[in-house]
């Protein structure tokens, strides 16, 4: 992987990350996957880990899918056509404070990934809480440091207004409805798209979708 490709990929991602500051209940966003570790290819997409407010995970996922989808920035992995995911965002992991700590196994692959995470949106205080939740198995005390890629630190007034509107009973009702709808679709996809040793979690605390982990086993066997 050339440094030129890495620079180009990061520039593209940062230009496409601006919507996060408008979406209610998002506390932070990390870049993960190949972009974070530096192992990207021309056809790579952009994996993100989205930290959300407790009790609003299904609202956040729905808005991310709709917003980035409408902008043509959401990766769609339904075929072998890389144009459907190249340089687009893949929303495969949402966490709440109850799930900041990654579930086991704590192997070398996940350690390398989590040590490479790059924050691009959110309050440094909350980002530090996420790091601390994983510091025991990472083997070091990770501290938040200023990073030129962390260009979106504060929310805008539209985001705060939406959080106010969705913080009460209506927000609770909408969360329940979106949970029912999304759970049906998630369970249907699991049956039709799961591959080698899928790592999939879907609950009020965490949504994680890695339907095929063959590359992880390949990495660990090297």
Question: Number of structural domains, the chain?
Answer: 1
Total Cβ atoms within 10 A of residue 141 = 9
| Residue closest to 125 by CA, chosen among 22, 23, 28 | 28
| Residue closest to 97 by CA, chosen among 66, 132, 61, 70 | 132
Q: Render each residue's pLDDT in the chain as its tens digit; 222 residues.
A: 568 999 999 999 999 999 999 999 999 999 999 999 988 889 999 999 999 999 999 999 999 999 999 999 999 876 566 667 899 999 999 999 999 998 888 888 888 889 999 999 999 999 999 999 998 898 767 788 888 999 999 889 999 999 999 999 999 999 999 999 999 999 988 877 767 878 899 999 999 998 877 777 777 777
Q: Would you state the structure tokens that stand for residue 117, as one six-digit string? A: 């995470």
In terms of Cβ atoms closer than 10 Å to its own Cβ (0-12, 13-18, 19+), residue 186 is middle
Residue 175 has what pLDDT?
98
Sign, CA dihedral 133-116-199-127, equals positive
Tell me the C-alpha distance between 46 and 85, whole Å: 8
Residue 49 has what pLDDT?
97
Tell me the C-alpha distance between 153 and 6, whole Å: 23
Q: Would you state the structure tokens that stand for residue 64, as one six-digit string? A: 């991310």
Structural element, H or E, at residue 185: helix 169-193
The DSSP annotation for 19-34 comes to GGGGSTTEEEEEE-HH
- Domain coverage including residue 121: 3-220
Place of tokens 């979708």: 209
DSSP state of 105: P
Angle between helices 57-70 and 169-193 (to 10 degrees): 70
């Amino acid at each position: 992987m050339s440094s030129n490709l890495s620079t180009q990929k990061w520039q593209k991602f940062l230009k496409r990350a601006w919507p996060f500051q408008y979406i209610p209940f998002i506390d932070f966003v990390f870049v993960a996957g190949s972009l974070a570790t530096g192992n990207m290819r021309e056809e790579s997409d952009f994996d993100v880990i989205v930290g959300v407010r407790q009790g609003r995970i299904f609202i956040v996922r729905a808005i991310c899918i709709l917003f980035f989808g409408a902008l043509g920035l959401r990766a769609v992995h339904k075929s072998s056509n890389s144009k459907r995911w190249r340089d687009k965002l893949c929303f495969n992991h949402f966490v709440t404070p109850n799930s900041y700590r990654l579930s086991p196994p704590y192997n070398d692959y996940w350690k390398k990934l989590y040590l490479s995470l790059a924050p691009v949106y959110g309050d440094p205080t909350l980002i530090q809480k996420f790091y601390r939740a994983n510091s025991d198995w990472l083997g070091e005390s990770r501290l938040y440091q200023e990073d030129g890629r962390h260009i979106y630190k504060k929310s805008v007034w539209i985001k705060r207004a939406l959080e106010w509107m969705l913080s009460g009973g209506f927000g609770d009702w909408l969360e329940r409805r979106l949970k029912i709808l999304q759970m049906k679709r998630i369970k249907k996809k699991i049956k039709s798209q799961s591959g080698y040793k899928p790592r999939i979690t879907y609950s009020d605390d965490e949504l994680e979708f890695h339907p095929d982990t063959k590359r992880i086993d390949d990495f660990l066997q090297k």
